[in-house]
């Protein structure tokens, strides 16, 4: 099948592809962390609710357009924190998912991240990663051994991305205890595609609750929460009520982020709650990244058929390089795969290199935002295909300046300066040189 035939018979739209391929119904080969992947995904889906206040979530505050909630689940001593926000723009769900799950992009939008790399890829959607986080006084550096799982639900057009801590021999704890290994029970993203933001509701006037325990009597009273609907006046300071959500009649992505983390070590629980409440605010930084850079290149997961194995997928934001290696294990009826990237990420141009593929073609979005590579892997069973996208190299033209001979001879520049006065051993002038 040629690329032209594929284009005539198939739509590149997100919805059509999802109707034909549903990742949640696939059965990948089992691996050593399959149970963790399934349990983390089930936990994340159980927290997918449109109205948090109706399901036991306590509202705390709203910062940078992200509403922060918490909930203590039955039988758990550590609370779960949740953030709800929006990312405006005509993005596909996989575009935003690529910003979230790509470690090279996360090192830009997550200022707490120190390092991160993929240790093992069990299949196209389940990966083992090692992530290090920067410390901030009094909390030292931490690291995580994570199993992350990506899933797309075609029935509701929803993307789920769940991560949970695992013990793996490939990621041993720091023997010198310079980094403390944290336990991440759940860190998950839920993405919904919406035609527009909903109109303001009564949730915008819910009284926020401070998650930190009551202060010591010796401490002064802190200022009221800026998002409180009450008018609190002290001398000349007036704190206004919260501004209700702005209703924008334009496409957007509804984003929910939930996290339950145990930092371990000697860290007070009140401080853990304060730090954990700040984590969902990363929704705003993800939105800023998408607005400024777009999305990193990615192998479109909704179009990956059974029999395709992703061997390597890496992206370096600062270098602007994307490297993908995959192979077709068996003969497919539709052996065309898709790699998508954003033109905003490569403003100064890009270079594409595809090795060991029958043919490939570029298709630009209608709005000109993204470009999709259609790669025909017919007859390439068992042969790894490599795709590399990089920033276009600048050709620096060196300016050669011809050396000119001096118009004045060097001897003419020498001046006959007078000799300094002669001095004795005590520094007294004895004679003036003529």
Which residue segments constitute the domains of the chain, with CATH numbers given? 26-213+224-293 (3.30.530.20), 304-391 (2.60.40)
Mean pLDDT of 194-219: 54
Max mean pLDDT among 22-36, 100-114, 251-265, 400-414 falls in: 100-114
Q: Cβ distance 205 to 67 under 8 Å?
A: no
- pLDDT band, very low/low/confident/very high, at 75 (cuts 50, 70, 90): confident
Higher pLDDT: 261 or 129? It is: 129
Q: What is the pLDDT of residue 273?
A: 72
SS3 call for 370:
strand
Q: pTM for this structure?
A: 0.76
Q: Cβ distance 68 to 258 under 8 Å?
A: no
Q: What is the pLDDT of residue 225?
A: 43
Mean pLDDT of 82-103: 94
Residues 164, 124, 307, 43, CA torsion sign: positive
Report the candidate in 316, 311, 369 with the shortest Cα–Cα distance to residue 340. 369
Q: What is the pLDDT of residue 215?
A: 38
Q: What is the pLDDT of residue 36?
A: 95
Q: Is the pLDDT confidence value at 43 over 80? A: yes
Report the candidate in 256, 252, 246, 255 with the shortest Cα–Cα distance to residue 195. 252
Strand ordering across the sheet containing 336-342: 298-299, 336-342, 370-376, 359-364
- pLDDT band, very low/low/confident/very high, at 103 (cuts 50, 70, 90): very high
Angle formed at CA 124 by CA 120 and CA 125, multiple of 5 degrees: 85
Residue 369 is given by DSSP the state: S
Q: How far apart are CA 289 and CA 392, in angstroms?
A: 21
Label each residue of 396-411 as H, E or C.
CCCCCCCCCCCCCCHH
Residue where the block lists tokens 């509202």: 59
Report the candidate in 123, 137, 34 with the shortest Cα–Cα distance to residue 305. 123
Q: Cβ distance 39 to 149 under 8 Å?
A: no
Mean pLDDT of 91-96: 94
Report whether the peptide linkage leading into residue 138 is cis, meaning its omega lies within 30 degrees of zero: yes
- pLDDT band, very low/low/confident/very high, at 200 (cuts 50, 70, 90): low
Report the candidate in 102, 93, 126 with the shortest Cα–Cα distance to residue 26. 126
Higher pLDDT: 417 or 256? It is: 256
SS3 call for 128:
strand
Mean pLDDT of 367-391: 90
- pLDDT band, very low/low/confident/very high, at 407 (cuts 50, 70, 90): low
Q: How far apart are CA 129 and CA 123, in angstroms?
A: 13
Question: What average pLDDT does the structure give for the chain?
Answer: 79
Lowest mean pLDDT among 22-36, 55-69, 340-354, 410-424: 410-424
Distances (CA, A) of 54 to 48, 51, 98: 12, 6, 31
Q: Is the pLDDT confidence value at 354 over 50? A: yes
pLDDT in tens, 116-167: 999 999 988 999 999 999 887 777 889 999 999 999 887 888 999 999 999 9
Q: What is the pLDDT of residue 251?
A: 85
Q: What is the pLDDT of residue 313?
A: 95
Q: Cβ distance 83 to 283 under 8 Å?
A: yes
Q: Is the pLDDT confidence value at 413 over 90? A: no
HSE-up (13 A, CA, CB side) for residue 32: 9
* Longest CA span, the chain: 107
Mean pLDDT of 49-69: 88
Residue where the block lists tokens 């793996």: 168
Q: How far apart are CA 140 and CA 349, in angstroms?
A: 41
Length of the chain: 434
Residues 29, 31, 34, 35, CA torsion sign: positive
Q: Cβ distance 332 to 385 under 8 Å?
A: no
Q: How far apart are CA 182 and CA 167, in angstroms?
A: 11
Report the candidate in 365, 360, 364, 362 with the shortest Cα–Cα distance to residue 386. 360
Residues 226, 232, 235, 238, CA torsion sign: positive
HSE-up (13 A, CA, CB side) for residue 207: 4
């Amino acid at each position: 099948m040629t690329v032209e035939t594929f284009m005539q018979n198939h739509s590149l739209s997100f919805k059509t592809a999802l109707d034909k391929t549903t990742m949640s119904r696939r059965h990948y080969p089992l691996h050593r962390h399959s149970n963790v992947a399934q349990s983390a995904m089930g936990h994340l889906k159980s927290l997918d609710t449109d109205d948090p206040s109706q399901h036991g979530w306590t509202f705390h505050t709203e910062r940078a357009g992200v509403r922060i909630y918490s909930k203590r689940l039955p039988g758990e001593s550590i609370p779960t924190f949740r953030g709800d926000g929006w990312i405006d723009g005509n993005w596909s769900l996989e575009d935003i998912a690529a910003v979230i799950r790509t470690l090279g992009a996360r090192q830009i939008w997550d200022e707490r991240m120190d390092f991160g790399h993929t240790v093992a890829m069990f299949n196209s959607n389940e990966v083992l990663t090692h992530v290090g986080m920067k410390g901030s006084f009094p909390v030292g550096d931490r690291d995580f051994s994570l199993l992350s799982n990506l899933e797309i639900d075609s029935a509701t057009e929803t993307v789920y991305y769940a991560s949970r801590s695992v013990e793996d021999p490939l990621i041993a704890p720091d023997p010198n205890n310079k980094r403390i290994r944290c336990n991440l029970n759940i860190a998950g993203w839920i993405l919904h595609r919406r035609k527009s933001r909903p109109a303001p509701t009564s949730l915008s006037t819910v009284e926020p609750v401070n998650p930190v325990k009551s202060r010591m009597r010796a401490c002064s009273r802190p200022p009221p929460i800026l998002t409180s609907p009450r008018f609190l006046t002290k001398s000349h300071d007036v704190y206004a009520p919260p501004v209700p959500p702005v209703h924008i009649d334009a496409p957007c992505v509804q984003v929910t982020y939930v996290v339950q983390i145990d930092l371990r070590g000697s860290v007070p629980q009140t401080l853990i709650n304060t730090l954990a409440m700040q984590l969902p605010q990363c929704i705003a930084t993800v939105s800023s990244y998408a607005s400024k850079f777009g999305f990193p290149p990615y192998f479109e997961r909704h179009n990956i058929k059974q029999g395709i194995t992703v061997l390597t997928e890496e992206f370096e934001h600062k270098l602007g390089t994307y490297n993908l290696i995959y192979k077709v294990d068996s003969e497919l009826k539709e052996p065309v795969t898709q790699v998508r990237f954003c033109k905003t990420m490569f403003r100064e141009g890009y270079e594409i290199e595809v090795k060991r593929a029958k043919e490939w073609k570029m298709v630009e979005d209608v709005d000109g935002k993204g470009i999709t590579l259609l790669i025909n892997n017919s007859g390439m069973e068992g042969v790894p295909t490599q795709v590399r996208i990089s920033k276009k190299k600048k050709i620096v033209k060196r300016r050669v300046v011809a050396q000119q001979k001096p118009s004045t001879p060097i001897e003419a520049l020498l001046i006959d300066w007078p000799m300094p006065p002669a001095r004795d051993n005590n520094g007294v002038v004895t004679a003036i040189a003529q």
